[in-house]
Amino acid sequence: MFLGVLWRLRSHKAQSAMVTSIVTVSCALGACTDSSLPVDQGEEGDAIQPVEPGPSLTDSTVVALSIQPEMVELTIGDDTAEQIFVVEAVYSDQSRRDVTSSVRLILDDPSLGTMQGGRFAANAGGGRTTLRAVWLGMEAEATIKVFFSKTVVIDENGAIPTTVSNIFEEAPIDRTQEGPLVVYPLEGTLFPPNLEQMEVHFRPGASSQTLFRLVLNGPDAEVEVFTRCESLNTGCKVTLDTSLWGAVARSAAGRTPITLRVVSVDEDDSSRSVGVPITVEVSQTPVEGALYYWSTSERAIKRVDFGELSEPETFMASRTEATSDCVGCHALSPDGRRLTMSLGGQGVGYLAIVDVGSRSTILHPSEDTQEQFQSWAPDSSRFVAVHGDEDNDTSIRIRNGETGGIMQEIDIQTDVTHVDWSPAGDRLVFTKASRSSTAQRPVRGGIAYIERERETWSNRVTDLVPAEDGINQYTPTYAPGGEFLLYGRSACSSVEDIDGDECDGDSDPSSQIWAVDKDGLRPPISLTRLNERGPTDDSDQLANTFPRWAPFVDARYRTGQGQVMWVTFSSQRRFGLSDRRDNRLLWMAAIDPAAILRGEDGSFAPFVLPFQDMSTSNHLAQWTQKLVTEPRCMERGEICEGQINACCLGLVCESNTSEELVCVRDL
C-alpha cells in the first residue's frame, strides 16, 4: 500500500503570538530570600539547589516567577513539535534571572508530551495541558495546546488524483443524491482510549460516487483520509491504525465527542454528497486486565492483555477434536494465578484447576470431581461451583482454590446453575431454574442469591428477579463495585412452549442483557442501547449472551467526575457490513453505573473487539486483573524431572524408555 501524506496549514492552527507575563506569588517578609529558604524537593525526592545570587542581587528578594511563553499552540502530524520555555526569577529590585535549570517543570497531562529541561516535545496526539514551574514555594503556569492534523491518501484501490483536496473543495454539493452512510462504528459508542484501531464501514450512496473523503474531528485533532472504495459486501471499509484513530482518540479522551463523516465525489459531473455525521466518545482511563475467551475454530482458550492490546495467544487448546474434550467453560481467579474449567461438555463437566503462570495442572480432571460453572472469591483463595447436570444435584459447593477440595456444600433444594461470587464476598448469586436438562440449559429461570453468615453460607434463598411464565432469566454477574448485576433474559414464543431451543438459556436468539440493583429495590431494566440492532441488522434477534465484567471501575472524564464500567458479551449482531451472520463475536460496551442505580439505561452502543478472529465464533470472555505469564508449562516430550505439576494440561510427568522423567499424554 502506498501511503502519501498531504499537509494543509490552517490559519487557526498557526502558532499564537508568545505573550510574556509574570505570575506573582506573595511571600511573607524575609521568607523568600536566596539564602534563607529551605531547598525545594524534586518529584523523585532529589534536591533542587537554589540559584546562587549574583553580585547585584545579594540584597534583593525573589518575589515572583515568570514563564515564557505563557501560551503556545503547536500543530503536529507525522513529525513532532517542540517548544522552549524559559523560567525567570523576578526580584524585588525588578531584576530577573534565568532559573530554568533549577525549577521543577510539571505537565498536568504528561501523556501530551515530555519535558527535558525547558524543552517540551509533543507526542503523537492533540490536547491541552498546563505546564507548572515550581521553585522556592512559588509557581508560574503556561498553557500548551497541541493540535494534531494529518491528511492521508490510500491509493491501493485505485489512483487518487494529486489535486484530490481541490476536487472536494470545489465540487458543488448535490442534495438530490444520498450521501455515504456510516454503519460502523455505531452512533453513541463510548470507546476506551487504548483501543487504537478502528474499522469504518460505510455504504457509498449513489453508485457514481467513486472517490471518498473520511473526516475525523476531535477537540484538538483532525484526520482526513482520501480513498477509493475497499469493497466489503454492499459497501466499503477504511482501516484506521494507531497513527490515525489512536491519535484522535487520545486527544478526545475524557473530553468532548469525536465527529465522523464521509463525503463522496462523482468525478464525472464534479458533484459531491455529504453523509450524515455520527458521534462517538472516548473515556479518560484505559481498560486494564487480561481477557480469556473460547474460540470455536481453534477449540481453544485464547487470551489477550487488554492493557497492552497485544495479539491474542492460545492459552490452552482441547487435546482432541472430540466434543468431550471441550475446555470452554472456564473461570479466572481475580489475581490471575488460577483457572478452573469444566472438561467434557454437557452431562460430564470434569473439573480441572490450572496454574496460569506455568500452565500446569493442579487438579486433574476425573469422574470423582464434576462441576460445570465456577466463580472465584474476591481474595482468589476459593471458588464456588455447581454441576446441575443431574436431577438430584441441587447443591452449591465452596472449593479450595489450590486443591479443589470441598470446604462447604450448600443444598438449596432447587435446580441451580450460573453461580457468581459478589465482590464484597458476602453473597452468591445464581440462576434458579424451575427445571433444567443440563446446567447450560436452564428453563424458566429466575435470579436468586444466598448470603454468608459468619464463617458459613446459609441455604436460605432470596429471589432477586422472580421466575416468570414465558421468560427465561440466567447468567447473573456482579458489577465490579457490587452495587448491581447484569443477567441474560430471553422470551419464549408462548407461555407453554418453554422447552425449545429458543428460550433454554443457551445462545437464545432473543437473549438480551438486563440489569438489576443488588437488593432488587427497583424493577429490572433492559440495557436498550446495548441491545438494540445496528444499521445492518435485519432483526432484533441478536443473541446477546454471557455478560462478563472488566475488573475495574474507571474515570470517564478528565475532571474526575463520572465513572464507567466495561462489559463484554457474545452476540450474533452484524459487525458492520461483514457477512458473517452466523458467527457469535465478542462485543464490549461501556456502562454508566450511576445511571443504572437511578433505574435508567446506563449502557452505550457496543463495539466489536478488533483482535479476535472474525471468521469464527468466540464466547465466554472472562476477565482477570492481570496477565500472568511466567513460568510456562512444559509441552509433550520435555524433561520435567524435579518439577511438580510442570506439564501442560493433558500431560503428566512420567518415566520414558531412557528412564528420564518427561511430559507424556495423560491416558
Domains defined for the chain, CATH in brackets: 8-146 (2.60.40), 155-282 (2.60.40.10), 290-624 (2.120.10.30), 633-667 (no CATH)
Burial 218-248 (b: 16+ CB within 10 A, else e): bbbbbbbbbbbbeebeebbbbebebbbbbbb
pLDDT at 35: 32
Set of cell numbers at residue 44: 523523585
Distance CA 55, CA 97 (A): 12
Residues in the chain, pLDDT under 50: 1-59, 320-324
Distance CA 465, CA 479 (A): 16
User: Residue 7's CB: how many other CB atoms inside 10 A?
Assistant: 11
> What is the end-to-end Cα distance of the chain in Å, rounded?
51
Burial of 330 (0-12, 13-18, 19+ CB in 10 A): buried
pLDDT at 386: 93
Spatial CB neighbours of 562, under 8 Å, sequence gap ≥ 6: 555, 556, 592, 594
User: Residue 636's CB: how many other CB atoms inside 10 A?
Assistant: 12
pLDDT at 98: 96
pLDDT at 206: 75
Distance CA 602, CA 529 (A): 8
Q: Point out which residues pair with 237 in neighbouring strands.
A: 201
Distance CA 21, CA 194 (A): 37
User: Residue 24's CB: how many other CB atoms inside 10 A?
Assistant: 13
Distance CA 339, CA 342 (A): 10
Inter-residue contact 399 to 382 (CB < 8 Å):
yes
Inter-residue contact 432 to 461 (CB < 8 Å):
yes
pLDDT at 24: 34
In angstroms and rounded to an integer, the radius of gyration of the C-alpha atoms of the chain is 30
Distance CA 237, CA 91 (A): 62
Amino acid sitting at position 14: A
Burial of 188 (0-12, 13-18, 19+ CB in 10 A): middle
pLDDT at 501: 72
Burial of 659 (0-12, 13-18, 19+ CB in 10 A): exposed
Set of cell numbers at residue 448: 436468586
Distance from CA of residue 566 to its chain's centroid? 7
Q: Name the residue among 463, 398, 397 with its Cα closest to residue 433.
A: 463
Helix (H, G, I), strand (E, B) or coil at 166: helix
Distance CA 549, CA 528 (A): 18
